[in-house]
Structures are given as C-alpha cells and as structure tokens.
Amino acid sequence: TDRKKFHTAPVGQVFRLRPFHVLVATGGGYAGYRKYEDYKLEQLEKRGIEVPVKLASEWEVALYKSVPTRLLSRAWGRLNQVELPTWLRKPVYSLYIWTFGVNMEEAAVEDLHHYRNLSEFFRRKLKPQARPVCCLHSVISPSDGKILNFGQVKNCEVEQVKGVTYSLESFLGPRVCPKELHFSQAPPSNSFQQQLVTKEGNELYHCVIYLAPGDYHCFHSPTDWTVSHRRHFPGSLMSVNPGVARWIKELFCHNERVVLTGDWKHGFFSLTAVGATNVGSIRIYFDQDLHTNSPRYSKGSYNDFSFISNNNKEGIPMRKGEHLGEFNLGSTIVLIFEAPKDFKFHLKAGQKIRFGEALGSL
C-alpha cells in the first residue's frame, strides 16, 4: 500500500557467510567473560570508585554480533510460551522473583498459579493504584527502570551512558517526510539535529531508561502527544545492560528497535523501544502490522509505516499514562524530544524510577 515502505540491505550484507559453530562457541565464551568484567565494574561503582570508559574494539563488536542472538531470542520466546504444569509454576516463578527482586504485591494477580507460562508472568499487569501518574509535570517516566542518561542533545550525538555516545541520525534513521511530521522546513545544509527542531528557541533533549528483568515490562505514553510514524530496525539483539552500554559505542544503533515519532505541544517527540537479548518481541498495542525479530527482515534494513492516511489525517493520539506497548523480559526506552530552553529534568543519573513518576517539566 501507499502507507508501507520497505528499505532492504545490500545483497552482500544479507548473504554474508560465517563459520557458525566456531563463532557461537567463541562468542558465547567471550560473552561470559564480559559478564564477569561487568560484575567487577559494578562492585567498584558501589564502592564509589570512578570507572574509566573502555570501549570495545571493532573485532570485539563483530565477534559479539556474530552470536545468533536473534535465533536464540526466538527460541527463548517459544520456550516462554510453553504452558507449565500447575505444580511447577510456583517454584519456577518464585526462583525468578528471588533472582530479580520482583515485587508481586504490586501485581494485579498475586497468585503464581494463575500465570500459565513465563510469557504471561513477564507481562503481568499491576494493580490500578500501584503506579499513580504525576499530573504536575509535563513528561513522566513511560516505564519502570534505571536512568542511564539524560540532558540536551549536542552536536548530533546522544549519550547512552556517561562518556559513551551514538549518532542521532543513525539511531532515528533518515528524516521522515515533513508531510507526516510537522518538521520545520530547514535548509539541507542544517544538521540533522537542527532539522528536527520545529520552533525557534527550542532545544532537543533525551532520556534513556533501562528496564531490568525484574521490572514491570509494559511501557506507557510519557506525555500527551500524537504518533504519526513508526520505523522498525531489525538489528542485532545484544545485551543493553549498563555494563555493555558502557562498553559498546552506538550499542542502541546496532540493536533491533522500534522508533515512534510524532509531535507534542512543544514540537518533535519520539519514543524508541530498543530490543535486547531474549527480548525479540516488542509489541505496540495500536500497531497490529508490527512483527519484531522476524526472519523475513534482514539486519541493516528498516521499514516504515505511516499512521496518517486519508481516513486519519492526524495520526494516533496518546494521553499521558496511556498503555502503549510491552517487552518480553527487559530492555531500554529512549526518549528524544523538542522543548523550550527552560525545560528541566528532575532526575539523577543511575536512579531507579517507576512508571508515572516525573521526568521533567517547564
């Protein structure tokens, strides 16, 4: 249809051969080594010792990307949908609760026997008053999680963690048609960042929220806005925990992600759900055409979908706090939006935050 556009990767990228078994074994062992290194870094941080940034080399990134995380994530997704015997549910879920510190007192259904499989348990709903939505601030947290970074976007670079950046244009992809989004008609010579800003005097801001496996897995609308366009990047599914985000530059640009773009009262607004290992499934409730971690999509490609049509001139209106989507397991939410220069974040890097709490306001 005229609402779908597919952009495919070069043939050479799609059909590049790799020595599968050797790389899986080597990559798996190296991933274990990295986990141990991450653990040591976490212990140093807890003791208040500043950890210097040490980025992965190109061969380390290539080795990690060679691990078939997309295939493993699909297998994990199918395993999660296997119905567990009633007698096995409580011990399995109890182990998960103990390992990741899940608070089941907040769950709408506390009885562990109610959840037929791991997938239902991951996507459990909360009690209605467990996450009150802050009405005093213009932007709220769309999910539970940990604040990795926030602030102004500078020089078309965004920080995923302190000292480690990624390209704004690589992350969001080429600029969407101005007819779909109310972008300013900036001259082509302007930077990608300047082209996103629609109102004079505004700045571009960002916020990165990491969802751990024990967090509430649904995400919500962070403000009142209109979603006009969806762009799906079927990339890798590397881990996005803070240790890996500190190690791999442009990690979020490598990984599979779903970019929702539109506008709010101050101009451009976007929310990106970033996939991770064992999080092959990213679901957007109002987008039935979205299928993530699908074998029919190749890495290096992206596909677009417009929510503006002859029958719907405005797009999809979202109210602050409204259900927007969900992950299977944990992952990352990245907000990139335009706001006046007096916009202030009410956050500290590294703090825990819950859905509905304030991110910032004017």
For 273-309, letters b (16+ CB in 10 Å) and e give bbbbbbbbbbbbeebeebebbeeebebebbbbebbbe
State pTM to two decimals. 0.82
- Measured distance between the N- and C-terminal CA atoms of the chain, rounded to whole angstroms: 41
The pLDDT confidence band at residue 236, using thresholds 50, 70 and 90, is: confident
pLDDT value, residue 309: 77
Tens digits of per-residue pLDDT, 10-26?
545 544 545 444 444 55
Residues with a known catalytic role: 144, 220, 331
For the chain, the average pLDDT equals 82
How many angstroms separate the CA atoms of 99 and 14, rounded? 38
Tell me what the mean pLDDT of segment 281-301 comes to: 81
Q: Percent of the chain beyond pLDDT 90?
A: 34
Contact 282, 256 (CB under 8 A): yes
pLDDT value, residue 77: 79
Tens digits of per-residue pLDDT, 182-211?
555 555 557 888 889 988 889 999 999 999
pLDDT at residue 335 tops 90: yes
The SS3 assignment for 34 reads: helix
